[in-house]
Amino acid sequence: MLEKIKLFANDFLEKTRNKEILLVSHFDADGITSAAILGKALKKLDKNFSIKIIKSLDSEFISQLPKNRVIVFTDLASSHLEELSKLETLVFIIDHHEIDLRYTMPWNLQVINPHLYADGEEMSGACLTYLVCRELVKKDSSLANLAIIGMVGDLMDKKVGPLVNTILKDADLTIKKGILLYPSTRPLNKALEYCSNPYIPGVTGDCTGACALLREAGIEFTAKGYKSLMELNEDEMQRLVTAIALKMPNHEKMSEFIGNLFLIKFFNRLEDAREMSALVNACSRMGESNVALLFCMGNENARKQAETVYIKYKQSLIEALNHVNTNPKIQGKQYMIINAKDKIQDTIIGTVASILSMSALYEEGTIIITMAYNQDKIKVSSRICGREKIDDSKNLKEIMDSITELIGGESGGHKLAAGCIIGKDKEEAFIDLVKKKLDIEVIKC
């Protein structure tokens, strides 16, 4: 696969010589860090480029793409090859999402995607973009650090293969084993109060509950306040894990929340990569994707703006989770449909789905589907609970694709995380089809 990346990079250099470039990327943490990595590399190459961050790729956006520029997609576009092949311009795609392997690439499409190769290594869009950029410019730890942020943002940190391992070595990075609670560099009481992944009943969103849990864990409040996660010794870490496990309905799932904590150099200070990923994601979900991009590009003013937006986002997310907890849901065998309508912003409904899927509230393998209004459309996000020992027969992208084929709309994603945009007038039809589809899936299992 590395040889394919080198060929792709060389082809890119040759075919973009003296050309204007439009870089288009997804608005989540993986997409924005991908755009920042390539943007910083293009700047070093003295290329003439602009960047566009979008929520989703659709036919209308594709039809409006300029004909006089080279178009580059990062963390996007693998499911739109046919439409992109009709453009009268050169298109480069750096993406890790599922792709139709039967499709023959036309003259104007250059694609690098792990799914295309027998030796393809599963990785985030940011990691793939970094590997391409490492061939374009010399190794740069700041670009590698951005790749780590994208990796943890896309929940790919437990699937580290040989190529991603080289990125870890390139980064300015410190790794510590522990509970995946962020920020690991801030006082534990605040980290617990605002933690959403894992979601801890009676603690998340409750400062009194957070302090009570720390007392139960025997972690002392000192003159300097509570320690951070990174400051805990092995015994304190174990007591904290036990105290959190006792709060979980399915405490046997606690092993899913144990892993590597990644500390990276960012703005000349040591930061938790998960916290940086959450901050980048928050800006986009709150309609400030340009702030997120500038933050990743190293803009000091954007850093201050991003931190302010992040505080508001965390409050919105806590409110959204509380809404889910206190309102009716459509529950079936091995699936849950949460139709938030206009009570949760469409920009954070996917995050809510991810949090619930990674919580201990539902059994592993349960499919979570969340819905939220966006003007005359509905944003749908689906996730599978847990990350280990999941039935191979469940493929969320196939489910979303099959439904949008029947009622219309745009779908995308991959096996464990997929979504779609449908018309609001299709709300009931969508729910009925999902229920029928998932009930059949359960019978097949």
Q: Average pLDDT for residues 340-368, to the nearest whole number?
A: 86
Residues 6+ apart with CB under 8 A from 311: none
Select from 9, 259, 275 the least CA-distant residue to 128: 9
CATH topology classification for 327-444: Diaminopimelate Epimerase; Chain A, domain 1 (3.10.310)
- Rounded-to-integer distance, Cα 259 and Cα 176, Å: 8
pLDDT at 253: 66
pLDDT at 223: 85
pLDDT digits (tens, 9 = 90+) for 232-250: 998 999 999 889 888 876 6
pLDDT at 73: 97
Cβ-contact 345, 316 below 8 angstroms: yes
- Using the Cα atoms of residue 40, residue 79, residue 63 and residue 348 in order, give the sign of their dihedral: negative
426 confidence band (pLDDT: 50, 70, 90): very high
Domain parsing of the chain, residue ranges: 2-168, 175-315, 327-444
- Rounded-to-integer distance, Cα 143 and Cα 33, Å: 9
Q: Beta partners for 26?
A: 54
pLDDT at 444: 46
Q: What percent of the chain has pLDDT over 90?
A: 51
Cβ-contact 145, 139 below 8 angstroms: no
Q: Quote the tokens at residue 135.
A: 């061939």
pLDDT at 256: 75
pLDDT digits (tens, 9 = 90+) for 71-95: 999 999 888 888 888 888 999 999 9
Give helix 300-326 / helix 289-297 axis angle, nearest 10°: 130
Ranking 277-281, 305-309, 358-362, 415-419 by mean pLDDT, the lowest is 358-362
pLDDT digits (tens, 9 = 90+) for 177-218: 888 888 888 899 988 987 877 778 788 878 899 999 999 999
Q: What percent of the chain has pLDDT over 70?
A: 95
Select from 277, 280, 274 the least CA-distant residue to 303: 280
What are the φ and ψ backbone dihedral angles of 178, each rounded to 5 degrees?
175, -170
At residue 370, the 3 state secondary structure works out as strand
- The sheet with strand 367-374 has its strands ordered as 330-332, 335-339, 367-374, 377-384, 417-423, 410-413
Residue 445: is its pLDDT beyond 50?
A: no
pLDDT at 72: 97
Select from 366, 378, 367, 342 the least CA-distant residue to 418: 367
Helices marked H in 54-205:
59-63, 81-84, 125-136, 141-153, 162-170, 188-193
Cβ-contact 72, 38 below 8 angstroms: yes
Q: Quote the tokens at residue 138.
A: 């010399």
What are the φ and ψ backbone dihedral angles of 195, each rounded to 5 degrees?
-75, 140
- The sheet with strand 21-26 has its strands ordered as 49-54, 21-26, 70-74, 91-94, 109-112
DSSP at 343: S
DSSP string, 394-419: --HHHHHHHHHHHH--EEEE-SSEEE
Residue 360: is its pLDDT beyond 70?
A: no
pLDDT at 250: 66
- Which tops the pLDDT comparison, 23 or 118? 23
pLDDT digits (tens, 9 = 90+) for 374-418: 999 999 999 998 755 455 567 899 999 999 999 999 898 888 889
- Rounded-to-integer distance, Cα 70 and Cα 360, Å: 46
pTM over 0.95: no
User: Position of tokens 């608005």?
Assistant: 27
Residue 267: is its pLDDT beyond 60?
A: yes
325 confidence band (pLDDT: 50, 70, 90): confident
User: Position of tokens 């405490």?
Assistant: 251
CATH topology classification for 2-168: inorganic pyrophosphatase (n-terminal core) (3.90.1640)
103 confidence band (pLDDT: 50, 70, 90): low
| Residue-averaged pLDDT of the chain | 88
pLDDT at 14: 92
- Using the Cα atoms of residue 284, residue 289, residue 292 and residue 297 in order, give the sign of their dihedral: positive
Task: Let me know the angle formed at the C-alpha of 293 by 289 and 296, rounded to the nearest 5 degrees.
Answer: 140
441 confidence band (pLDDT: 50, 70, 90): low
Q: Beta partners for 109?
A: 91
pLDDT digits (tens, 9 = 90+) for 24-64: 999 999 999 999 999 999 999 999 999 999 988 888 899 89
Q: Quote the tokens at residue 155.
A: 């929940």
